[in-house]
Amino acid sequence: MLNIILMGPPGAGKGTQAKKIIAAYGIPHISTGDMFREAIAAKTPTGELAASYINKGMLVPDEVTIALVKERLSKDDCAKGFLLDGFPRTIPQAEALEKLTKEINRPISAVINITAEKDVLVKRITGRRVCKSCGAPFHIETLKPKVEGVCDYCGGELMQRKDDTLESLAVRLDAYEHQTLPLVKFYADRNLLHDIDGLIGLENVFKIICDIFERIK
Ligand code: AP5
């Protein structure tokens, strides 16, 4: 069963690999970042709360994030596998997820941890453009769309994310280091962790992910 967690710092390539994984394996993509951005666009109370944290680069409070994932993971389409992208990001989130996956009998089968150094992350994030409609990530130098400003997947308009400024990124990297990095040990202790060097190119990263999936399927 592919019950997967995709981890890594901002700009490691989680969203990019998630697009390829969904296309190849057809499992639901549960990205807390995307869910919050949808809530912000829809101007829901959760969206308004989330925006006040996300735009500054801070993590949204655990109780809000955990409730969102609990509801989504319990849906029927997750019975045959799921891809969690950007969740969990704190030890309380990981503990809540462990409890939930036991309750619903959908245990995590692998944690893919994509790594990359800070200077690379800064270049990737500041040069990133995302689709307004489907969220697909592109880059002004390394991953240009076929037509400038237009999404290859859905034809939507490309834009820069509000939290992709140098100021917000510094806060996001700090949150990653202090709140998310402890999860590496958490999942290594459970023999679930697979580290992948995120600097080896999109296709090479994807090939390693596919090899892992074939072993655990
Ligand atoms: P989220 O949307 O999850 O953002 P993030 O984790 O900061 O990650 P990014 O989307 O910035 O990067 P990515 O790793 O997906 O990289 P990408 O593939 O786009 O979260 C946003 C915010 O929501 C958080 O800051 C927080 O406030 C809140 N939030 C979300 N989840 C939360 C949680 N669990 N708890 C609390 N708060 C939460 O790639 C980046 C660029 O690099 C692209 O341009 C791409 O083309 C390029 N690229 C990717 N891979 C490669 C490669 N191998 N070689 C060359 N270029 C590459």
pLDDT digits (tens, 9 = 90+) for 141-160: 989 999 999 999 999 999 99
**Per residue in 4-31, is it b (16+ CB within 10 Å) or e — as a string?**
bbbbbbbbbbbbbbbbbbeeeeebbbbb
Report the C-alpha gap between 36 and 32 in whole angstroms.
6
The per-residue pLDDT for 19 is: 92
pLDDT of residue 51: 96
Inter-helix orientation angle 32-41/62-73, to 10°: 100
- Which of the residues 37, 106, 124, 128 is marked catalytic? 128
Q: How far is the CA of 170 from the centre of ligand 1 (A)?
A: 14
pLDDT of residue 34: 94
Catalytic residue among 89, 106, 124, 129: 89
State CA 130 to chain mean position distance. Answer: 14
C-alpha 16 – ligand 1 centre gap (Å): 9
14 is catalytic: yes
State pLDDT tens for residues 8-20.
Answer: 999 999 999 999 9
Start-to-end CA span in the chain (Å):
5
- Mean pLDDT for 165-175 is 95
Q: Is 37 a catalytic site residue?
A: no
103: confidence class by pLDDT, cuts 50, 70, 90: very high
pLDDT score for 88: 98
For residue 67, what pLDDT band results from cuts at 50, 70 and 90?
very high
pLDDT of residue 217: 84
Q: CB under 6 Å to ligand 1: residues?
A: 8, 10-16, 32-33, 36, 53-54, 57-60, 65, 86-89, 93, 124-125, 128, 137-139, 142-143, 163, 172, 198, 201-202, 205
pLDDT tens, residue by residue, 42-52: 999 999 999 99
The DSSP bridge partners found for residue 112 are 6, 194
Whole-structure pTM value: 0.94
For all residues of the chain together, what is the average pLDDT? 96
Give residue 121 CA to ligand 1 midpoint distance, Å.
Answer: 10
**Residue ranges of the alpha helices (H) in the chain?**
14-25, 32-41, 45-54, 62-73, 91-103, 118-126, 166-175, 182-188, 202-216
Q: Is the pLDDT of residue 32 over 90?
A: yes
Neighbours of 107 (CB within 10 A): 12
Active site (annotated) includes residue 161: yes
Q: Which of 38, 60, 100, 161 to mutate to test the pocket of ligand 1 (most atoms within 8 A of CB)?
A: 60
215 is catalytic: no
Q: Listing from the earlier edge strand, what are the strands of the sheet with 193-197?
A: 29-31, 82-85, 3-7, 110-115, 193-197
Does residue 182 have a cis peptide bond before it, meaning omega lies within 30 degrees of 0? no
Q: How far apart are CA 65 and CA 100, in angstroms?
A: 13
pLDDT in tens, 185-200: 999 999 999 999 999 9
pLDDT at 45 (0 to 100): 95
CB 87, CB 65: distance < 8 Å: yes
Position 99 scores a pLDDT of 97
Which ligand 1 atom is nearest residue 33's CA? 2
Query: What are the φ and ψ backbone dihedral angles of 131, each rounded to 5 degrees?
Result: -75, 130
H/E segment holding residue 196: strand 193-197
The pLDDT score that the predictor gives to residue 10 is 97
Q: How many CB atoms lie within 10 A of CB 78?
A: 18
Q: Which atom of ligand 1 is nearest to the CA of 12?
A: 14
Please give the pLDDT value at position 206. Answer: 98
